[in-house]
Amino acid sequence: MKLGGLLLLADSRLPSGGHVHSGGVEAQVDRGLIRDPSDLALFLDARIRTAGLCASAFAAVGALVSGRDWLPWDRAVDVRTPVHGLREASRAQGAALLRTARQAWPAGEGLRALAELGRPHHPLVLGAASAAAGAGPEQAAALAVHHLVGGAATAAVRLLGLDPLRVAAVQAGLVPLADRTTAQGVEAARASVAADDPDLLPADTTPLPDIAAELHHASEVTLFAS
């Protein structure tokens, strides 16, 4: 594993478009469902167990698939993302990261193949970028959960003016759960890729973020795109 490339992908300053997405936090804040660090901790706990598990599995797939046909895997993300706004958010971030990663690692085979899809989903691009940077599926999966938690936590600080130190403590407290979720995602990804069957990947979800995402997408004034 090349640590430098992994650190670059984990850096929030990487121009991949994530700063304009709240991971669903803005919709929850607008409806009074996230008001303080305790609320944020509960929200992130649920998101790690559902969206985080799916994202980690698909990021691991992205690191494992390499030059194979990406379309079935990309469609598998689609069917696990029923809300149009969330699909668009994933594709927008995927396209932004893909442009950045192809500049950084032009020899990446998986990145070249993904570019043929036009606007692939973000977890797949993150996995392929991780592989191009010299990382494995475990690191790609961990990055997916890291981005999910970090983006939501940063958005909560911006939206609510929360104490960044308390938010950092919330993130630290979720590390054991994130590690377990990452391991589950990688295990599912390895089995799915070995069987060449995207249906074996997790599809864990909960309806509240999907409903809130629809309401957010219909809002006239928002700070974040999602």
> Residue 124 has which token pair?
């797949």
- 59 closest CA partner among 152, 1, 130: 130
Quote the number of domains for the chain.
1
Q: What is the DSSP letter of 199?
A: G
Domain for residue 77, yes or no? yes
Domain for residue 6, yes or no? no
Domain for residue 7, yes or no? no
Q: How far apart are CA 189 and CA 101, in angstroms?
A: 22
Contacts of 194 (CB under 8 A, 6+ apart): none
55-83 residue pLDDT tens: 999 999 999 987 678 999 999 999 999 88
With contact defined as beta carbons under 8 Å apart, do 131 and 84 qualify?
A: no
The model's confidence at residue 35, banded by pLDDT at 50, 70 and 90, is: very high
Q: What is the CATH number of the domain that holds 207?
A: 1.10.4190.10
Residue 221, pLDDT > 80, answer: no
Percentage of residues in the chain having pLDDT higher than 70: 98
Domain for residue 223, yes or no? no
Percentage of residues in the chain having pLDDT higher than 90: 70
Q: How many Cα neighbours within 13 Å face the side chain of 81?
A: 23
Contacts of 23 (CB under 8 A, 6+ apart): 47, 148, 151, 152, 155, 226
84-134 residue pLDDT tens: 888 999 999 999 999 999 999 998 888 999 999 989 999 999 999 999 999
Of residues 85 and 47, more confidence is placed in 47
- Dmax (CA) for the chain in angstroms is 47
Give the model's pLDDT for residue 17: 63
Domain that holds residue 68: 22-218
**Burial group, residue 150, by CB count within 10 angstroms (0-12, 13-18, 19+):** middle
Q: What angle do CA 171, 121, 108 make, to 5 degrees?
A: 95
The model's confidence at residue 3, banded by pLDDT at 50, 70 and 90, is: confident
Domain for residue 17, yes or no? no
Q: What is the DSSP letter of 83?
A: S
CB atoms within 10 A of CB 131: 24
Q: How far is CA 85 from the centre of its chain?
A: 15
Mean pLDDT in residue range 150-174? 96
Predicted TM-score of the model (pTM): 0.93
With contact defined as beta carbons under 8 Å apart, do 59 and 124 qualify?
A: yes
Domain for residue 184, yes or no? yes
